[in-house]
Structure 1
Amino acid sequence: MLVSNHLGILERSLDAAMLRQRTIANNVANIDTPQFKSKQVVFEDLLKQEMNGASGQQKLQAYRTNARHIPFADSGLNVVPRIVSNPENFVQNNGNDVDLEFEMSEYAKNQIWYNGLTQLTAGHFQKLRSVIEGGGR
């Protein structure tokens, strides 16, 4: 109960949200840098693929911090967020493709997503606390 797939998914999702925050900040910081190519974080689609697989069956594998650890199934998450180029952005005259409105929109969406994830994580630990304390307050 202390370590579950749900908590692992929340942990990885929070990591992705933090990485997305840093990536957006980097894009905005380089808005006037010639030839700068903006980046974005890909995570949600990778998570769906990991959870459903090609056959539609759940196939979560154990998350191992070291390749030498013994593999075991259904107790972790192997998907990690990736930073990729933003191929759809319009390139300006100076070769820079940062769109401030798009970045700020992504920032707002990411902030809402992060807040929701922190609430879910807090709820998970509140349930654990309730179980440990006997459920009666």
Structure 2
Amino acid sequence: MLEQIMNSANFDYLSRGLSAATMRHEVISNNIANVNTPNFKRSAVNFEDLLAKELHLGDEKGRLQLVRTNDRHLPMDVTDKAHAVIEEDGSTTMRVDNNNVDIDIEMAGLAKNQLYYNAMATQLGGFINKMKNVITSGQS
């Protein structure tokens, strides 16, 4: 039973989202720490776009999506699960020292990421509480 909960789609998506938010916080913090470093290029974390492609697997390639029509069918496991990726932005320059970190954008991104992380943590906590209530229902 516990294995089914831990392998559920909700738990999987939420835990990967939390990992991505944690990585994004570290990357943004690194960008802020290097705001005055000459030739430093900012980095960003890409996760949501990769997750959207995973969820719509096959749409852009013309393949049919897999559907499990009976509980006795073998479970389908998508092996190409999206994970957060750090991408460096070398295409722009903000100042004459070739640094491209804009402190205002980074601080806004940090605040946005904090809200995202809190929302994901709340959702994951709610999911775990629901599963706990289902498991312990009827017991005193």
TM-score bucket (shorter structure): 0.7 to 0.9
Stretches of structure 1 lacking an aligned partner (at least 5 in a row): 60-71
Show structure 2 runs of 5+ residues with no match. Answer: 67-74
Measured in 1, the distance between the counterparts of 2:41 and 2:76 equals 39
Matched, 1:32 2:32: no
The amino acid of 2:130's aligned partner reads K
Question: Judging changes above 3 Å, is the alpha-carbon distance between structure 1 residues 83 and 58 closer, same or farther for their aligned structure 2 residues?
Answer: farther
Structure 1 vs Structure 2 CA RMSD: 2.3
Matched residues, number: 125
Q: Tell me, yes or no, if structure 1 residue 14 matches structure 2 residue 18.
A: yes
Conserved 8 A contact 2:41-2:101: yes
Q: Structure 1, residues 39-69: CA drift from partner, whole Å, max 9, x if none?
A: 000000000001102427656xxxxxxxxxx
Tell me the equivalent position of 2:81. 78
TM-score, length of structure 1 as denominator length:
0.81
Given that 2:21 and 2:116 are in contact with CA atoms closer than 8 Å, whether structure 1 keeps it comes out as: yes
- Partners of 2:80 and 2:128 in 1: how far apart? 19
Further displaced range: 75-84 or 25-34: 75-84
Are the counterparts in 2 of residues 37 and 86 from structure 1 also a CA contact under 8 Å? yes
- How far apart, CA to CA, are the structure 2 residues paired with 1:129 and 1:52? 30
How many angstroms apart in 2 are the aligned matches of 1:76 and 1:132?
29
Give me the identity figure in percent.
34
Using structure 2 for the length normalisation, give the TM-score.
Answer: 0.79
- Partners of 1:96 and 1:19 lie apart in 2 by 22
Shift of 1:77: 6.5
Return the match for 2:100 from 97, 102, 110. 97
